[in-house]
Every structure is written in structure tokens, then in C-alpha cells.
Amino acid sequence: MPALSEYSNVHNTVINIITNKGYKIWYNKKNETYYAEKNGWDFMAYSPCSLLGIISIFEHKKPQSYKEYWWKDEGALVEENLSKHSHSYISVTEKNNKDEKHYKF
């Protein structure tokens, strides 16, 4: 099990993060979409987690003004090159379970 994944039980945390970053956030029930705005830059997504991801792109790119495709990275299409398999690692959840087993009396 991952340490954290996108699920409805993390939505409140995500909404608080977005709000604490200074964005106004709202939900359009008719379209089932979430919106955020700050300094005229507005964003839309289908979940709070996705909205935070979109905001992260904006904060990473730091555009000074709007232009078409301001968010786009040039170069290789990285998604096509993603590995189909996980690399070797031990999840913190597994490490925690081992520690609990080790220290149980």
C-alpha cells in the first residue's frame, strides 16, 4: 500500500493546502469541477488533488505573463518513456510494519 494516494479522504487536506497558498477555491456542482484563482491566474480540474497538481505546474514554471502553452515542456515526450515497472525499494509503510513487528512484546 502506498504511503499516500489520491482518494477522497485527502481532499480536505488538499483544499487547505491550496487555500493556505493564497488561492480562492470553489466547486462547480453542475460541471463537477474544482476551480482555483490567484492574481488572475485561474485553474480547473476534476478533483482537488488534480487541481493541486495543476497549481504546482504553475508554481514551478512561474510565468510572468500569459501566452499560449506557457506550461509546456519542450523535448522528448516523457510520458511515453515512463517505465512500466517499479524500481526496487521498500515503502515506508512496509518499513513501519517491520518496526512495529520488531518492537511488539
Q: Which of 1-5, 19-23, 28-32 has the lowest mean pLDDT?
A: 1-5
Centre a 10 Å sphere on the Cβ of residue 35 and count the other Cβ atoms it contains.
16
pLDDT tens digit string along 49-88? 999 999 999 999 999 999 999 999 877 667 777 788 888 8
pLDDT at 7 exceeding the cut of 90: no
